[in-house]
Amino acid sequence: MIPLRCAGCGAGLEIDEGMKVFACAYCGISQQVERRGGTVSLKRLETVVNSVNLSTQRIASELALPRLERELQDVERERSRLLEAAQKEAKPGMGWVVVVCLAFVALGVYELFKWNLGWVSVWFILAYFSGSLLHQGPEVAKRINNTADAKARRIKEQLAAHRDNLDA
């Protein structure tokens, strides 16, 4: 028999040599008997369970960190690949769009000098619409960046949560 104090209510308890887990006769709290070297102590079972959870969480976080860092690198690689592809695709057509747009402007100005206002508006409207094609390149890039940013943000949030776990 070893005399000990309850980890819950502090009552004096006597436990048998082989006991590992028991409930206090006074307050009913479950506790674990910890034997380290020559000393014996009691630990409330819920905190034992919590620390087990904590260590499995730590292990999960340690495994998750390198995986998430790889995922983050993949997102950035994918971003530059898509941007490069979009740029390549956009370049050959855009020179012609500029030429056509300027031609419409020139025609508009020409008709303006002749005071054919109906034609002036037609050419300027066409110039406006062909000119708006020039914005599509940046639009595509913006969409690619937005998607990549959103993915990266989610991964970074997870990374931060796991780092907090490890710091705790």
**Would you tell me which residues interact with Zn ion (CB under 5 A)?**
6, 8-9, 11, 24, 26-27
Q: How far is the CB of 53 from Zn ion (least distance, A)?
A: 23
Amino acid occupying residue 121: S
Q: From the CB of 43, what's the least distance to Zn ion, in Å?
A: 13
For Zn ion, the closer CB: 10 or 93: 10
| 35 vs 132: CA distance, rounded Å | 77
Q: Give, in order, the Cα–Cα distances in Å from 14 to each of 24, 40, 41, 143.
A: 10, 12, 12, 70
Tell the smallest beta-carbon distance from residue 34 to Zn ion (Å): 16
- Residue written as token pair 């020409």: 110
Q: Which is nearer to Zn ion, 12 or 92 (CB)?
A: 12
Q: Which two tokens stand for residue 156?
A: 């970074």
Q: Which is nearer to Zn ion, 24 or 68 (CB)?
A: 24
Nearer to Zn ion, 2 or 9 (CB): 9
Tell me how crowded residue 161 is: count the other CB atoms within 10 A of its CB.
12
* Least Cβ distance, residue 31 to Zn ion (angstroms): 8
Task: Name the minimum Å distance from CB 41 to Zn ion.
Answer: 14
Q: 6 to each of 19, 26, 36, 43, how far by Cα in Å?
A: 14, 9, 18, 8
Nearer to Zn ion, 6 or 68 (CB): 6
Question: Whole-angstrom Cα distance, residue 67 to residue 71?
Answer: 6
Q: Are 6 and 26 in contact (CB under 8 A)?
A: yes
